[in-house]
Amino acid sequence: MPQQARLFRPVAGTSMNRSSSIVYHFVLAFALLFAAPCAPAAEPGRLLSILLLDAKTAKPISRVTILLLFRDSKGATRKLGQLTTSKDGTAALSLPEPLPERIDISYQPDEVKSCTDVEFATREILSVGVVAKNTCDVARSTIEVHPKAGQLVLFATRMTLSERVHHELP
């Protein structure tokens, strides 16, 4: 019986104690490694996805910096985030709590010309998705885009070299 009791008592400074410590840390690291990808990146319904399309071709526009703004309770404009569209014209942002009532959109002045409204209702975007009105190409303003909940679809056109030069000169 005394030998069995020793099996359950930790013995300081033995190799068995170090082995169990190594196993414990290995199991912990393994659990953390596989549990981390399963954790949600944002609360469901709190992720804002933006799709930027060319107003004339309806093709995605990549590498455009989008500035998201909102107005606080005092009416001051605050920065919500700055995103750059990916190859497929998308960018995403996890929205903070409390949700801003409306989201304003702005672009770098030398990248694109906006072809949509600049202010959108946050709850509408999150609940059903929003396709902004295409104001640049009236003939193509009926482009069929079906947004998902949480998605805001915007239209713009890349600025030409002459438009950039004209914009820079006084």
Same domain? 20 vs 61: no
Looking at the structure of the chain, the number of domains it has is: 2
* pLDDT at residue 109, as a whole number: 77
Q: Which residue range forms the structural domain that includes residue 137? A: 47-168
Same domain? 53 vs 33: no
* pLDDT at residue 25, as a whole number: 47
Same domain? 65 vs 25: no
Same domain? 69 vs 105: yes
| Successive 10-residue mean pLDDT values, the chain, 170 residues | 48 52 48 40 70 92 95 90 96 92 89 89 95 78 81 89 64
Same domain? 68 vs 117: yes
Residue ranges with strand state E in 10-148: 47-54, 65-71, 77-84, 90-94, 102-107, 112-114, 119-121, 130-131
CATH of the domain at 77: 2.60.40.1120
pTM of the complete model: 0.68
